[in-house]
Amino acid sequence: MPRASKLRNKRDRNGDRNGDRNGDSATIDDGHGKLSRKKRIVEEPEPEKNKIQEKKKNTKTQIRKSENNNVQAEVEKGENKLKNNIFISNHSIISTADFRIITGSYERILYGIDARWIKEDNDQSDKDKMKLQLEPLFIFSAHIGYIKTVAVGGRYLASGSTDEIIRIYDLKRLRELGSLHHHNGSITTLCFYSSTHMLSGSEDGLVAIWRTKGWECLKSMKGHKGCVNSIAVHPSGKMALSVGKDGAAIVWDLVNGRKGAVWKIRKEGEVVLWNTLGEFYAILSRNEITIYNVSDAQVSQTITQKSMFLCMRYYKDDNVDEVIIAGSEDKIVRVFDVKTGKCIVEFSGHKNRIKSLDIIRSTPPFLSAPITLLVSISSDGIVNVWNLSSALEKIKSDEVVQINEVIGSHDTENRLICVVCAEGGGENELREGVGVGVGVGRKQQDGGEESKDIDKDNKEEETDDESE
């Protein structure tokens, strides 16, 4: 079992910010690159020489300041120049966005988008005329490998990559806090519980539990014989469920920090989710979504289709029975009734396969109550936002509701892999269906010391925010 070494956050005498990695240590570095409040400078992160599998060929970063005071950087890789590889938009650091959308891509780009409500005309009563203006907030090269997963918990944004590194950002102050070096394989899944804990999974088969105060690795658990594909935590925070390439599903006791039940499933599980109340869990396997009852571990419902499923989300509110929303290789996002397994809504508009989904609630300034939005991304770089509340209100018992119009769209010009949403303007609150729970009360068994320096720095940041 890997040992957690001291987490440290320091600047060496030469002014460089380098993270040491010794064996299976877990460290957090000061930011290699940051979004600074004053200078708003973006720097490309330096490679971690000992652990990077992909070679970085002749990468050269040139930073220049344009006439309109934007800070931009051009990255030349060999003879090819990546268009808009690093860019900071002309926005104020104090964002007035209603919410944010963050994506990760094969191009190693972390792409942040501000979403603001607008009206197409002066008619404030027509909900169908509501639109979102999507504008880039930040675009920068966050990793050396492609970004496989992103997650939001409170003010924190985490990204995981094939470079085996987890990078942590402060969404409130728009700057990098540091990087976590623990896994010996690509980071495949990340999830938060509120802003206090984070779980990570990797190709090395480990499930790691992190405490965000000081970013200490509390526990590193081994169970899968190969890659961990997905992790979900029960709403109670007392247990988690993971699926992996070994075809196994594993229950983790998060209170005592140990592996529980292990069983084989019919197909390799690619995504796992708990429902809202934690009474059911769903496992996505290629062209099949299987829903299990927790009480007896029996199959409650099976959803199948010809096209391959690539992503899914549970959703439920006071006005709608629980549904599963799934994106597919056939470019369509579908909503399924979990009781009948039937498709009840189809969102059509993407021109390529759907890679990832997220759900967020937002209140337009011209409405008194929040509405639920669905955010979908496709592999051709398109981000679409749909009015999920309006679509579910149109459900009829005998036909599938067809939705073809988006309320917001943006072309990132990147091959997108993952997406997550966050509340805009100030500290983000955990949303239903986003993040996870964890109830671990002990440190990693093989030692590890709590970093007082990191805790001190975090307190100083909170003090600075209060004074501002």
Annotate 81-114 with three-state secondary structure.
ECCCCEEECCCCCCCCCCEEEEEEECCCEEEEEE
* Mean residue pLDDT across the chain: 77
* Cα gap 149→420, rounded to integer Å: 9
Query: Taking a C-beta distance cutoff of 8 angstroms, is the pair 153, 237 a contact?
Result: no
Q: Is pLDDT at 14 greater than 70 in this prediction?
A: no
What's the whole-number mean pLDDT along residues 174-200? 94
Within a domain: residue 451? yes
Closest to 251 measured CA to CA, from 269, 231, 229: 231
How many residues can be counted in the chain?
A: 468
Q: Is pLDDT at 16 greater than 80 in this prediction?
A: no
Within a domain: residue 152? yes
Pairing state between β 156-161 and 165-170: antiparallel
Residue with tokens 């990693």: 444
What's the whole-number mean pLDDT along residues 290-316? 96
Within a domain: residue 277? yes
* Cα gap 243→224, rounded to integer Å: 8
Domain range for 146: 27-467
For the ranges 59-73, 209-223, 441-455, the maximum mean pLDDT occurs at 209-223
Query: Taking a C-beta distance cutoff of 8 angstroms, is the pair 174, 467 a contact?
Result: no
Q: Nearest-5° angle of CA 131, CA 132, CA 136? A: 155
Query: Taking a C-beta distance cutoff of 8 angstroms, is the pair 277, 256 a contact?
Result: no
More confidently predicted of 277 and 18:
277
pLDDT given at position 17: 40
| 187-193 sheet: strands from edge to edge | 187-193, 197-202, 206-211, 216-222
Within a domain: residue 204? yes
pLDDT given at position 52: 42
* Cα gap 363→387, rounded to integer Å: 12
Query: Taking a C-beta distance cutoff of 8 angstroms, is the pair 428, 421 a contact?
Result: no
Residue with tokens 């699926």: 243
More confidently predicted of 31 and 399:
399
* Cα gap 25→7, rounded to integer Å: 9
Lowest model confidence (mean pLDDT) among 22-31, 222-231, 286-295, 382-391: 22-31
Q: How confident is the model at residue 211 (pLDDT cuts 50, 70, 90)?
A: very high
What's the whole-number mean pLDDT along residues 204-227? 95
Span 338-389, pLDDT tens digits: 999 999 999 999 999 999 999 999 999 888 899 999 999 999 999 999 999 9
* Cα gap 423→416, rounded to integer Å: 21
Count of domains in the chain? 1
DSSP assignment of 270-314, as one string?
Answer: -EEEE-TTSSEEEEEETTEEEEEETTT--EEEEEE-SSPEEEEEE
Alpha helices in 354-410 (DSSP H): 388-393
Say which CATH number the domain at 54 has.
2.130.10.10
Query: Taking a C-beta distance cutoff of 8 angstroms, is the pair 356, 327 a contact?
Result: yes
> CA 202 from chain center: how many Å?
15
Within a domain: residue 6? no
Within a domain: residue 9? no
- 243: alpha, beta or left? (left if phi > 0; alpha if psi -120 to 50): beta
Lowest model confidence (mean pLDDT) among 107-116, 118-127, 246-255, 406-415: 118-127
More confidently predicted of 464 and 295:
295
Closest to 334 measured CA to CA, from 402, 417, 286: 402
Within a domain: residue 192? yes
What are 311's strand-pairing partners? 327
pLDDT given at position 425: 60
Lowest model confidence (mean pLDDT) among 39-48, 184-193, 308-317, 443-452: 443-452
More confidently predicted of 194 and 381:
381
Span 21-65, pLDDT tens digits: 333 444 444 444 333 333 333 344 444 444 444 433 333 323 233
Within a domain: residue 55? yes
What's the whole-number mean pLDDT along residues 157-177? 96
* Cα gap 261→245, rounded to integer Å: 17
Helix (H, G, I), strand (E, B) or coil at 135: strand
Biggest alpha carbon–alpha carbon distance for the chain: 70
pLDDT given at position 10: 36
What's the whole-number mean pLDDT along residues 105-128? 81
More confidently predicted of 275 and 77:
275
* Cα gap 148→117, rounded to integer Å: 29
Residue with tokens 């539990």: 209
